Amino acid sequence: MPIVIIGSGTMGSGIAEVLLACGGSAVLVDPDAAARERAQTRIAKNLARSFEKGRIVEQPEDCLARLDMSDTPPVDGVEWVIEAVPEDVALKQRLFGELDARYPETVWLASNTSSIAIGRLQSCTRHPERVGGLHFFNPVPRMQLVEIIRGLETSEDYLAAARTLTKRLGKIGVIVPDRPGFLVNRVARSYYLEALRMVDEGQAPMELVDEVMEGAGFPMGPFRVMDLVGVDVNLSVTRSVYEQTYYDERYRPHPWQEELVERGYWGRKSGRGFYRYE
C-alpha cells in the first residue's frame, strides 16, 4: 500500500526516499509543480548514490517506479498519510481538517511537525484518535530516530502502527509527550541559544564553539547544525516553542537568528548562514 506524503520539500522527499529504498511505495503530493520536480530529481540522485555505495541493492529505476507525484492526495488503498508542509499552524490545521474529511477513519494521519502540538491538529478532526506525530529528522535517510508523538487522544492502535512503520523504514521510533518542541527540539533549544548568546556576548568565536562541542563528542557544533537544518527552520521552531511555553525566557529567539533570516542567510541551502558555502 502506498504511503501518501503531503509536501515534497526537504522532509517529504527524504521520507519518500527512505520508503522507496526499503521496498515501499510513495505518493508525494505538492501543489507546486517546480517543488515536485525538484523532489523527484533529488530522490533519483540520492537513490543512485546509495546504489553506487552499496547501501541499496535494488536498481534505482526500480525504486523510482514505485513513486508517484501528484497535486492532490489519492484516496483509495491508503494506510498512512504523512504531512510535511511548512511549519505554519493555520496551514496544518486546515490540512488536517481536509484530510480527516477525505479519508476513512481507518487511515492513520501523521504530522512531521517539529514543534506544533499534535493536540492543535487533532482539534480540527472528527477522529483525533487516528492522528499523531511522526517526527523524522534531517537528513531523513541518515537519521535513525523518529519521535512518535502521542497527542491527548491518540489511540494505542495508532502508536502500535507507528512503531511498525518506523521499524519497517529501518528507524528507531520512540514515543514522546505532546509538549512544545516534544523532546529533542525542546532540549536542543539550549544548545543553540546558549551558543548564540556566548558568541554574541564576545566570549568565544563561533568556530571555537563548534570545534569544542564536536571535540566533546557532539557530532556537529551548534552553528553547523543550524546551517544544516536551515537558520529559518530553526528560528521558526524556536519561536513556536517560545510562544507555546507562554514566552518562557529560556526559549526566547536570539536577534542574530532574526537578522540572518531577514537577510536571506538561511544556511547551506542558500549558500550562506553562519558560515559561507560554495
Closest residue to ligand NAD, judged by C-beta, is 9
Nearer to ligand NAD, 50 or 111 (CB): 111
3 state DSSP class of 173: strand
Q: Is 119 exposed, middle or buried (0-12, 13-18, 19+ CB in 10 A)?
A: middle
Cβ atoms of 6 and 84 closer than 8 Å: yes
* Residues near ligand NAD (CB under 6 A): 6-12, 29-32, 35, 84-87, 95, 112-114, 137-138, 229-230, 233
Pairing of strands 145-150, 108-111: unpaired
Active site residues: 114, 135, 147, 185
Rounded to a whole number of angstroms, the minimum distance from the CB of residue 63 to ligand NAD is 20
Phi and psi at residue 49, in whole multiples of 5°?
-65, -40
Q: Which CB sits closer to ligand NAD, 95 or 193?
A: 95
Smallest distance, ligand NAD to C-beta of residue 77, A: 20
For ligand NAD, the closer CB: 159 or 184: 184
> Residue 104: how many CB atoms within 10 A of its CB?
9
- Give me the phi and psi of 179, to 5 degrees please: -125, 155
CB of 85 vs ligand NAD, minimal distance in Å: 4
Residue number, 23 or 271, with CB nearest to ligand NAD: 271
Q: What is the DSSP secondary structure assignment for residue 216, as one 8-state letter?
A: T
